[in-house]
């Protein structure tokens, strides 16, 4: 479109982009099982701030990473106290140390896509959650990303998706980068799907997106 498109046109374009991006879906309230399925990364947990019993306090005293206070996480995300507690209690069982590295992330992610190879996409996703690039993802990192994906504005979700697709973080997404992402998604879905996926499907998806 020439010039500056009207606001409604911009919004429509953003909505179309979101539909083309597998990582961006409409807002919803995440149950524990839904958050595991959406991100297939029920791996991130931490101690202390959500403990409701003496047993919890004892268990949490042995972990390596303590998350920020519950009130602070409520301010930083769009989750309620109860939702944070549900997410935390599920994830601490997967990662008692409170942080997860890339290899553990990939192992847990693979449990949700046994029919395919999810390792490459899990690496891309891990890097998107590891915002400080220290090689690990904490509970704070996880709920921050999840909040953006599920509760963020269109701009919030597009920015998050852009960071995921911009593999070399140079501020641009090339066809090659998007093709790498799309291939990893099709690999994750597996070859034995119905209807069967065609080999050229990832490239066609990329071409449609750039069109």
pLDDT at residue 197, as a whole number? 75
Percent of the chain with pLDDT over 70: 66
pLDDT tens by residue, 49-104? 444 444 444 344 444 565 667 888 988 999 999 999 999 888 788 888 888 999 99
List residues bridging with 11 in a β-sheet: none
For residue 140, name the pLDDT band (cuts at 50, 70, 90). very high
Decide if 155 contacts 179 (C-beta within 8 A): no
CA atoms of 211 and 198, how far apart (whole Å): 20
pLDDT at residue 127, as a whole number? 94
Q: Is the model's pLDDT at 136 over the cut of 90? A: yes
Tokens, residue 109: 């992610």
pLDDT at residue 120, as a whole number? 96
pLDDT tens by residue, 141-153? 999 999 999 999 9
**Cβ-proximal residues to 152 (8 Å cutoff; 6+ apart), any chain:** 27, 78, 160
Average pLDDT over residues 135-146: 92
CATH classification of 70-210, choosing from 1.10.238.10, 3.30.70.270, 3.40.50.970, 1.10.3720.10? Answer: 1.10.238.10
Mean per-residue pLDDT of the chain: 77
pLDDT tens by residue, 1-32? 445 555 566 677 666 655 555 554 444 445 44
**Cβ-proximal residues to 181 (8 Å cutoff; 6+ apart), any chain:** 121, 124, 164, 165, 167
Handedness of CA 166, 167, 171, 174 (dihedral sign): negative
Decide if 67 contacts 139 (C-beta within 8 A): yes
Q: Is the model's pLDDT at 48 over the cut of 50? A: no
For residue 36, name the pLDDT band (cuts at 50, 70, 90). very low
pLDDT at residue 210, as a whole number? 94
Average pLDDT over residues 184-206: 84
pLDDT at residue 44, as a whole number? 35
Q: Is the model's pLDDT at 180 over the cut of 50? A: yes
């Amino acid at each position: 479109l020439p010039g500056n498109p009207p606001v409604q046109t911009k919004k429509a374009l953003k909505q179309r982009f979101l539909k083309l991006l597998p990582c961006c879906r409409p807002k919803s309230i995440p149950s524990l099982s839904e958050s595991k399925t959406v991100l297939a990364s029920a791996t991130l947990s931490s101690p202390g701030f959500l403990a409701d019993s003496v047993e919890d306090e004892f268990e949490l005293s042995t972990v390596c990473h303590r998350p920020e206070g519950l009130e602070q996480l409520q301010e930083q995300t769009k989750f309620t106290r109860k939702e944070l507690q549900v997410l935390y209690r599920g994830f601490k069982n997967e990662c008692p140390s409170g942080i997860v590295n890339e290899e553990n992330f990939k192992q847990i992610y693979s449990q949700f896509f046994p029919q395919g190879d999810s390792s490459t996409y899990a690496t891309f996703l891990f890097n998107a959650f590891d915002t400080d690039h220290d090689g690990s993802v904490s509970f704070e990192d996880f709920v921050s990303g999840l909040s953006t994906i599920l509760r963020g504005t269109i701009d919030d979700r597009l920015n998050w998706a852009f960071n995921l697709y911009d593999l070399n973080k140079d501020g641009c997404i090339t066809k090659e980068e998007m093709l790498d992402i799309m291939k990893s998604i099709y690999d994750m879905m597996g070859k034995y799907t119905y209807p069967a996926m065609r080999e050229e499907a990832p490239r066609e998806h990329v071409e449609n997106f750039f069109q």
